[in-house]
A and B are shown apart, each in its own frame.
Chain A
Amino acid sequence: MIIKQISVFIENRSGRLAEVTSIIAEAGCSIRALSIADTTNFGILRLIVEETEKAEDALRKHGLAVSSTNVVSVRIEDKPGGLAKVLRLLSDNEFTVEYMYAFISKSDNEAQVVMHIDNALKADELLTKSGY
C-alpha cells in the first residue's frame, strides 16, 4: 500500500527530537512509525503519521524544512524468512530499496515495514499482485 511519509531536517543537538515530536503532538497527530539517522551535525527524521497534511503544516509553521514522499507499506509474515522473501521478490524485479524501517505491529502473526523504493507505484503494483 502506498502511504505518505514526512521527512524533517533536524540539527543534531540534545532535546531537538523531543521538541519536534511535541509539535506533532500539539497538532493532535498520532505517530505510526518513525526512523531517524544522523550524521555528526544533522539528521533526517522520517515519520508516518495519521494526518500527514496537518502534521506537515504544523512543522512548517515552526519554520522547519519539511517534505513528503510516497513510500510503500508492506505487511509480512512475522516468522523467520518473512522479510527476506519480500526483499528477494523486489530485487528479482530490479527494484532498489533505499531505506526501510518497521511499524508498530498490531497483530501477532504479522509485521509491517515501510520501504522507500525508487519507483514506489510500480513496486506497490508488484507487491499487491504477489499477495502482499
Chain B
Amino acid sequence: MPRKELEALQLERLKRLVDYCIKRIPHYRNKLEKAGVTAEKIKCLSDIEYIPYTTKDDMRDTYPYGLFAVPLKDIVRIHASSGTTGKPTVVGYTRSDLNNWSDLVARIVVSAGATENDIAQISFGYGLFTGALGLHYGLERIGAAVIPISSGNTEKQIMLMKDFGSTVLVSTPSYAMYMSEVGAEMGIDMRKLNLRLGLFGSEGCTDELRAKIENNLGVFFTDNYGMSELMGPGVSGECRERCGLHFAEDHFYPEIIDSATMQVKPRGEVGELVITTLTKEGIPLLRYRTKDITRLHYDTCKCGRTHARMEKVKGRSDDMLKIKGVNVFPSQIESVIMTMPDAISPNYQIVLTTHNYMDEIEIKVELVNAGLLTNYSDLENLQNQIRHKLHTVLGLDCRVTLLEPKSIERFVGKARRVVDNRIK
C-alpha cells in the first residue's frame, strides 16, 4: 500500500479509536476529557500528540478488566504478561481480535519465508504467554503443519525435530542456542536436519549470537517483535532482506519519543517506541509506552514493502543498568562475549554487587577451550583479554570470572542474565 493511502487509513482508524475509547472505557474517557481530546479534534496524524500516554501502571491500576472495551461475553480469549513483580497485565481478545492476530502473524511468517509446506516446531512455552499461541495460529493460518511441543524437555525436542523433519523452529534465541548444545552432546549434527528457518523472538539477541545460532543449527534466522499488552507477536517482523522489522502500521501506529522529556522525536532518531493499537476491540491502547529502545525507517524496503521498518530493539529502558553512573545494556556485554567463541561459551551472567559503597560488576563466563590449561598465564591472559574488550565497549572495569563449562543456568524461555545484588 502506498504510504499516502496508508496514512489516510491510519487517520481514519485513529479517529474511530478515540471515539470508541471515549464511549466504552471510563479510564480513557476521564483522561481524554482532561486533555480536551475528541475524535473531531484529530485532523491529522500528528494530532495524536495531544493524547496522553498509557503505561503498564495504567494496566495494573485497572487490573484485571478495567481497560476492557467490551463486556466479557464478547471476549473469547484472555492472556496475561509474564509479570515477574506484582500483578500481571491482562489482555482480552474478541473473536475479531483473534482473527486479526492470526492474519498479522501469518504476514510476518510469510515475509520471513515460511510456506504451507513447512513443519513448524513451536518451542515457546504455551500458556498465558502470547508467543506460542500467536505463532501457532499464524502458522496454521498459512497452512503449515504445527507441532505444539512447548518449551523444555530438550532431548525430546531434538528427537522430534529429527523424526518429524521440522523445517521451522519457533523459540527464544537463547533456547535455540541451548538446543544446539544439547544436540551436539547427543551426537546429532543439527545442520544436517531439515531445519531451514528460525522465527526467533521474545528477547533481544546480538548479531554475534544470531550468527552463531545460524551456524550451529543451519537455519536462516529471522527476528520478530510484539508484546502481550499490544496483542503478542505479529507487531513487526523481518523479511528475507533482514534490514529491519516491518511494522504492521495498518493496525499499530508507532511513534518514537524521548523517554525523559516525553516529546516525540523527529523521524529517524533513536528513542522509546510508543504504540497505538488502531483496530483492537477487546483492549485498545492509546500511545502505549513500550520501554523498548529502537529507531524507525520509512523508506521502501528492497523487498518492496512500504510499511516502516523498525531496527532490532537495542534494549529496554527497563533493562538498562546504571553502573557507577555509566549506562550499560546487557546486549553490549553479550556482543563482547560472542567475539570469543573458541575460548568461552555464549552463556554468561552479569553479577552486580556493592563494595565499599561502590558498584562492582562481575562477568561470569564458561571456559570451553581446554587447550588453555597448560599454563596459568594462558588463562590469565584470556581473563585480561575479555576484561580489556569489555572496558573498550563499556568504559568500565569489570571483574571477569572463568567458570567450568555448563555451570551457568540454561533457560528454555527468556534468559535471565543479570543478577543485581546491589544494596539499594
Tell me which residues across on chain A come within 8 A of B380, comparing CB atoms: 39
C-alpha gap A93/B370 in the complex (Å): 30
Query: Are A41 and B404 interface neighbours, CB within 8 A?
Result: no
Q: B376 touches which one: A8, A39, A67, A69 (CB < 8 A)? A: A39
Find residues 362-386 in chain B having any chain A CB closer than 8 Å to their own CB. Answer: 367-371, 373-376, 379-380
Interface residues of B, count at CB 8 A: 18
* Across-interface contacts of B270 in A (CB, < 8 A): none
Q: Is B419 an interface residue (CB 8 A)?
A: no
A132, B100: Cα distance in complex, Å? 84
Compute how far the CA of A42 lies from the CA of B372 in the bound complex, rounded to whole angstroms: 13
Residue in B closest to A66 when the chains form the complex, CB atoms: B370
- In angstroms, Cα B401 to Cα A11, docked, is 10
Q: Which residues of B contact A10 (CB under 8 A)?
A: 404
Interface string of A53-72 (1 = CB under 8 A from B): 00000000001111101000
Given A63-B404, A64-B405: A9 and B375 interface contact (C-beta under 8 Å): no
Which residues of B lie under 8 Å from residue A37 when comparing CB positions? 376
Q: Mark A83-102, 1 if CB is under 8 A from B, else 0.
A: 00000000000000010000
A65 to B407, CA, bound (A): 11
B403 within 8 A of A: yes
Chain A residues within an 8 Å CB radius of B406: 63
CB-defined contacts of A7 to chain B, threshold 8 Å: 370, 373-374
A98 and B402 contact, Cβ closer than 8 Å, known pairs A65-B367, A65-B370: no
- Shortest B345–chain A CB gap in Å is 10
B368 touches A65 (CB 8 A): yes
Question: How big is chain A's contact interface, by range?
Answer: 10 to 19
Q: State the CA gap A124–B417 with chains docked (Å).
A: 49
The tally of CB-CB contacts under 8 A between chains A and B is: 50
Known: A37-B376, A39-B376, A44-B376. A11 touches B370 (CB 8 A): no
CB distance B379 to A42 under 8 Å?
A: yes
Bound together, the chains give a CA A69 to CA B378 distance in angstroms of 15
| CB-based nearest B residue for A116 | B374
Determine whether the beta carbon of A9 is less than 8 Å from that of B401. no
Q: Which residues of the partner chain A approach B370 to less than 8 Å between Cβ atoms?
A: 7, 9, 65-67
Asked whether, in the complex, the Cβ of B376 is within 8 Å of the Cβ of A65, the reply is: no
Which positions in A face B, CB cutoff 8 Å?
7-11, 37, 39, 41-42, 44, 63-67, 69, 98, 116
A sample of 10 inter-chain contacts (CB < 8 A) reads A7-B374, A9-B370, A9-B373, A42-B402, A63-B406, A64-B405, A65-B370, A65-B373, A65-B404, A67-B373
Interface residues of B (CB under 8 A from A): 367-371, 373-376, 379-380, 401-407
Per CB-CB distance, the 4 closest pairs between chain A and chain B, nearest first, are A7-B373, A67-B370, A65-B370, A63-B406
* Given A10-B404, A39-B379, 17 additional A-B pairs, CB 8 A: A7-B373, A8-B373, A9-B367, A11-B403, A41-B402, A42-B379, A42-B402, A44-B373, A44-B376, A44-B379, A63-B404, A65-B368, A65-B373, A65-B404, A66-B373, A67-B373, A67-B374
